[in-house]
Amino acid sequence: MNKIVFATNNAHKLDEVRAILGEEYCVLGLHDIGCDEDIPETSDTLDGNAEIKARFVKDNYGYDCFADDTGLEVEALDGAPGVYSARYAGPGHDSEANMTLLLQNMKGKVNRSARFRTVICLIEGDSMKKFEGIVNGTIIEERKGSNGFGYDPVFVPEGFDRTFAELSSEEKNGVSHRGRATACLSEYFHNKN
Ligand code: ITT
């Protein structure tokens, strides 16, 4: 089995990526390699933060690894919360508070278009590669559903009439930003072998 480190401490993200990459890959999280640090995401781009997280693991732990960074980009809010999605309502990474603030800021907005964008940075030895995944959709007016995490209860992906939090994990992974970026990563691994 191929071992690869995914530089995250978010258990939901680990589950999603494990399901997409399948049983051929043993995907280890930060906790599994003894890293319980909250790696500072100091860049103002998703690309930059994904690279910081992957580089941190490679430099400090020596493993080839990949990291992702995701942002919810809302058209009527000029792309916010974007790279600051985790800290939109403050430094506490509180999903409920983030959603409350988002719904407040979207009150009365006619344009509800938004997208999730994920950038994955893979570092293998001296080489670095990036993969992107995007899903378009809309922000609804109140939370619906209890699956998933983060902003899932307020985001309806294009082609569906349910939020991400109302979809099964298979349905979400089939169309999601992270699903699409991870599918590109998986294709790269397959073509390499
Ligand atoms: P790591 O940095 O440890 O990987 P994180 O939770 O901080 O985990 P990200 O920086 O990639 O994850 O994502 C920023 C925020 O965007 C995250 O805290 C969620 O609020 C939101 N988010 C990311 N992916 C999401 C998804 O699939 N569905 C809903 N919200 C998501």
Protein residue whose Cα sits closest to atom 7 of ligand 1: 86
Q: Can you point out the beta strands (E) in the chain? A: 2-6, 25-28, 65-74, 81-82, 113-124, 127-139, 155-157
Instruction: Specify the amino acid at residue 183.
Output: A
At residue 68, the 3 state secondary structure works out as strand
| Cα–ligand 1 centroid distance for 193 (angstroms) | 30
Q: Is 16 in the pocket of ligand 1 (CB under 6 A)?
A: no
Residues of the chain with pLDDT under 70: none
Our mutation pick for probing the ligand 1 site, out of 16, 70, 134, counting the most ligand atoms within 8 A of Cβ, is: 70
The pLDDT tens digits of the residues spanning 148-183 come to 999 999 999 999 999 999 999 999 999 999 999 999
Q: What percent helix, strand, coil does the chain show, rounded to 5? A: 40, 25, 35
The pLDDT tens digits of the residues spanning 130-143 come to 999 999 999 999 99
Does residue 102 contact residue 88 with C-beta atoms inside 8 Å?
Answer: yes
